Structure 1
Amino acid sequence: MALLRMIRIVLWSFFGVRRRASHEADFAQVNFSLLPVIAVVLALCIGASIFGVVMLVTHGANVPTQGF
Structure 2
Amino acid sequence: MELVRMMRMVLWSFFGVRKSASHEADLASVNFKWLPFVAVALAAMIGACILGVVLLVAHSTGTAQGF
TM-score category, normalised to shorter length: over 0.9
1:5 corresponds in structure 2 to: 5
What stretches of structure 2 of length at least 5 have no aligned partner? none
TM-superposed deviation, 1:61: 1.0
Q: How large is the Cα RMSD of the aligned pairs?
A: 1.2
1:64 to partner: Cα distance: 6.1
Task: Tell me by how many angstroms 1:63 deviates.
Answer: 2.4
Between the aligned residues of both structures, percent identity stands at 61
| Residue segments in structure 1 that go unaligned for 5+ positions in a row | none
Deviations 1:6-47 (A, max 9, x none): 000000000000000000001100000000000000000000
Instruction: Give the ranges of 4+ consecutive aligned residues of structure 1 lying more than 4 Å apart after TM superposition.
Output: none
* In 1: Cα distance, 2:55 partner to 2:26 partner: 36
Match of 2:53 in 1: 53
Q: Give the structure with the larger helix fraction.
A: 2
| Structure with max Cα Rg | 1
What is the count of residue pairs matched by the alignment? 66
TM-score (norm 2): 0.93
Q: Look up the match of 1:33.
A: 33
